[in-house]
Amino acid sequence: MKNKKAYSGFTLIEMLIVLLIISVLILLFVPNLSKHKETVNEESNQAIVKVVETQMELYSIEKDSALPNTETLVKEGYITEDQKEKYDALQGVAP
C-alpha cells in the first residue's frame, strides 16, 4: 500500500472563482463610493456657505450695520481663515 500525501488547500479553479467574485464586488462598489464622495463635498460646500452667511447676518444684527465682507468676519473672530478661503473660492472672489 502506497502512502498518498493528503493535500489540503484550494484548487486553482476555486481561487479563480473567489477572485472573480471579489472583482465583481469591487466593480459594483467603487463607482458608488466616488458618487458619495461628490455628494459629501457638495454638502460640505453648502454648509460653509450657510455658516458664513449666518455669521454675516449675526454680525449685521449685533453691530447694527450692513452685511460685512469675509475679511471683517475673520478680524472680528466670527469665522476662521479657512472658512473665509473656502467661502471666497465658492463665491468666485479673488484672494
Averaged over 68-86, what is the pLDDT?
A: 92
Give, as one character, the DSSP assignment of residue 8. Answer: -
pLDDT higher than threshold 90 for residue 58: yes
Averaged over 19-33, what is the pLDDT?
A: 89
In the chain, the percentage of residues whose pLDDT exceeds 70 is 91
Residue in 57, 74, 37 with CA at minimum distance from that of residue 87: 74
Percentages helix, strand, coil for the chain (3-state, rounded to 5) are: 75, 0, 25
pTM of the complete model: 0.62
Query: Minimum mean pLDDT among 11-15, 32-36, 64-68, 74-78: which range?
Result: 32-36
